[in-house]
Amino acid sequence: MNPQNDEEVLRREYLLGRLSDQAREQVEERLLGDDDFVEKLSTTEDGLIDDYVFGTLSGNDRKSFEKNFVINDERRRKMQFAQSLDVYLDKLDGPLPSTPTEAPPWWETPLKAIRSYKFWVAVPALGLLLFFAPRIYRWLQPHDQISFVQTHRARIERQIAEFNKSNDQSSPAQELVLDPSAGLRDGGGIKRVTVPADIKTLTLKLAVPSSSEQNYRALVATVEGIEMFGIDNLKQEVESGRTFVQLKIPTEFLDTGDYQVQLGGIGPDAQLTNPVRYYFGVIK
């Protein structure tokens, strides 16, 4: 949940341990004397925990959260509660658990469907689809589709490769540090980043074990495995004792959704050697 106003920002900064001594003391004085503030601080605390668990905190906020916020058992218990809620909602997958109310009469379901705006959107959409189906079918013929996709992909790859080579730091960027994942959700879920409209670049810092690989290749795909593009000649860098491979992706190529990156060295047959996988999500 993004902060709604300055007060909320102040409370979040306080909880993340990022206020100056003077500002912190002002907050603490309010905390001692203002019941309403105490209640709101507690609500903000829940919001932060949820954002961390649901993967919607930005990279810097996550670091501050881990360093300054999750430092006692009570907060850890709250985190586990939020995690349960997260998994519960995933399992629920849409419909709410059945409510112990009387079953509606049989005619309610079709009537409800007709009353829904979705019905009135769906009917003309279906008509249009039937009308255009033969043309769409022709357009989707394999030879056209493959050549179009290949050309498009090659163009994107060229653009991203140049972008990564150029070291241009003028456009606003957002950074996301990713560790290799043992498997989807095994590492505690996908890290998701909210990308505001003014951010033009998402910089992924992919943590790798220090190795002798000279060049890396990254394959970016949707979380379902649909390959989007591949970038070669990425180099490793060492920062604060950790080794990273940095991959810059223009945000115009990333819609809201979950993605995976496969990173590895480049073998003689252009196959990835020692590939490792990373997951991330984008929210626009």
Q: How distant, in Å, are the alpha carbons of 150, 187, 201 from that of 155?
A: 9, 34, 18
- C-beta separation of 82 from 56 below 8 A: no
> Which residues contact another protein by CB under 8 A?
1-2, 4, 14-15, 17, 24-25, 28-29, 31-33, 38-43, 46-47, 50-51, 53-54, 56, 65-68, 70-73, 75-81, 83-89, 91-92, 96-97, 99-101, 185-189, 192, 194, 283
Nearest approach, Cβ of residue 41 and another protein (Å): 7
Identify which of 263, 254, 277, 69 has the alpha carbon closest to the alpha carbon of residue 174: 254
Q: How distant, in Å, are the alpha carbons of 29, 44, 61, 69 from that of 8?
A: 17, 7, 14, 16
Closest to another protein by CB, 85 vs 146, is 85
Nearest approach, Cβ of residue 106 and another protein (Å): 22
Nearest approach, Cβ of residue 66 and another protein (Å): 4
Nearest approach, Cβ of residue 2 and another protein (Å): 6
Closest to another protein by CB, 236 vs 251, is 251
Nearest approach, Cβ of residue 265 and another protein (Å): 29
Nearest approach, Cβ of residue 68 and another protein (Å): 6
Residue 12, classified by CB atoms within 10 Å of its CB into exposed (0-12), middle (13-18) or buried (19+), is buried
Nearest approach, Cβ of residue 186 and another protein (Å): 8
Closest to another protein by CB, 70 vs 173, is 70
Closest to another protein by CB, 74 vs 224, is 74
Residue carrying structure tokens 């220090």: 210
Closest to another protein by CB, 13 vs 213, is 13
Nearest approach, Cβ of residue 33 and another protein (Å): 6
Closest to another protein by CB, 38 vs 113, is 38
Closest to another protein by CB, 96 vs 238, is 96
Closest to another protein by CB, 11 vs 217, is 11
